[in-house]
Amino acid sequence: MFALIDCNNFYVSCERVFDPKLQGQPVVVLSNNDGCVIARSAEAKALGIPMGIPFFKVKDLISQHQIQVFSSNYALYGDMSQRVMQTLATLCPDLEVYSIDEAFLDFSGFQAQPLQQGQLIRQTVGQWTGIPVSIGIAATKVLAKVANKLAKQNGGVFVLSPSKVQAVLMTLPVEEVWGISSRWGQRLRALNISTAAELQATNLNLMRQQFNIVLERIVRELRGESCLPLESIVNPQQSLVVSRSFGQPITTLPELKQAVATYVSRAAEKLRSRQLTTSYLTVFVRTNRFQENYEAPNASQGLLTPTNHTGKLLEIALRCTESLYQPGRAYKKAGVLFQGLGSAQSIQQSLFEESDSEKGAALMVTMDRLNRRYGRQSLHYGATGTRQPWAMRSDQRSPQYTTRWQDLPEVHARAREI
């Protein structure tokens, strides 16, 4: 038996913890670059703000209803996520952190009173972190996802017992099943499968032939046959991406190189903080994907010796960038992808290339330490530039209440005269 814990409107809820005036108010949180709406309070949903809509398309609606708007603040959301997950771990040891705002729990131990257990978890997380959660409980992960939807409409906790499954699936559009997107939904509808119940009843071999083993597993899970185990052991990471859209398009090579250098620096920092190295690097650039002549070229290079040294990675990435750049293009986005990740502790040395010198490694340690202490980018490579006019927009970011001393909330108390 599985439970899926899902934080309600997570990013909005994080903002509300530190600004209680936002309770009951319509609130939205924007994506990076203030591009799209990616979180909405219940009040904002009720006013008709769709998920994922470009901000500029709802600007009028937002000012008309005085909806509060926040740029995304991942330092805050990441830290709040950790607090929620730590709380869950104290209540149920078998835990899979599935995303920033979701976790699966193995509920086999609580089979006798799953509803009461769910309510206890919900109450404790609320009390310890201030984040409201919904909990769906069922025999498989896919069914727990369904149960979670119902929990949001029914007091926060819902147990989907086998006797209720059929009736619930009959009312559920096939695209709302976990793992079925609108694309697959269209193909399924063409086969006369439009509800979750019809998908559950379909032929397994047909699904495997027409789609793949992923869909076959989803059908089995809908039938109550568990195919997706709890993955409590974190798999080693396989790839790492840092990419951003630009606040304004880039047309010159020096600026493009600055942007790529900035993303490489950030990605190398992430590698080091996770004790990883990379052995394969890809740089990609993109023009505006909403215009004609959209282009998205990339250039890759393997490394003889895996590394996480910013300087070495910069050298390769900047060469790749030069090979990609075409004068006359307006670039809207760039990024760097590291693959072939491995442990920084056990580096396979190359016969033909010198490995990171001790000096180089010490430099990285020092740089990371200074930047942790004095703030990101306090010490950085010159290649990343200083002005960065292309930097992403983030006009309405809240303070880093929990991860930055200067941003710690202050509480003022005054004795009231009686």
Q: Where along the sequence are the contacts to DNA (CB under 7 A)?
A: 31-33, 35-36, 38, 52, 54-56, 98-102, 145, 178-185, 212-214, 235, 237-245, 249, 270, 280, 288, 290, 300, 302, 332-333, 335, 392
Sequence letter at residue 85? M
| CA quadruple 69, 70, 71, 74: dihedral sign | negative
With residue 276 as reference, give the H or E element that holds it: strand 276-287
Closer residue to DNA in complex, CB, 110/277: 277
Closer residue to DNA in complex, CB, 148/402: 148
Closest separation in Å from C-beta 107 to DNA? 19
**Angle, vertex CA 14, rays to CA 396 and CA 120, nearest 5:** 170
Short-list 39, 288, 80, CA closest to 88 = 80
Contact 47, 26 (CB under 8 A): yes
Closer residue to DNA in complex, CB, 128/178: 178
Contact 357, 257 (CB under 8 A): no
Closest separation in Å from C-beta 242 to DNA? 4
Closer residue to DNA in complex, CB, 69/110: 69
Closest separation in Å from C-beta 370 to DNA? 22
Closest separation in Å from C-beta 54 to DNA? 4
Cα gap 17→27, rounded to integer Å: 13
Closest separation in Å from C-beta 334 to DNA? 9
Closest separation in Å from C-beta 243 to DNA? 4
Closer residue to DNA in complex, CB, 249/360: 249
Cα gap 46→39, rounded to integer Å: 13
Which long-range contacts link 165-169 to residues 24+ away (Cβ below 8 Å)?
Answer: 165/138, 165/224, 166/197, 168/196, 169/195, 169/196, 169/197, 169/200, 169/222
Structure tokens, 112: 């006798």
Closest separation in Å from C-beta 71 to DNA? 11
Closer residue to DNA in complex, CB, 30/367: 30
Closer residue to DNA in complex, CB, 14/110: 14
181 burial type by CB count under 10 A (0-12 exposed, 13-18 middle, 19+ buried)? exposed
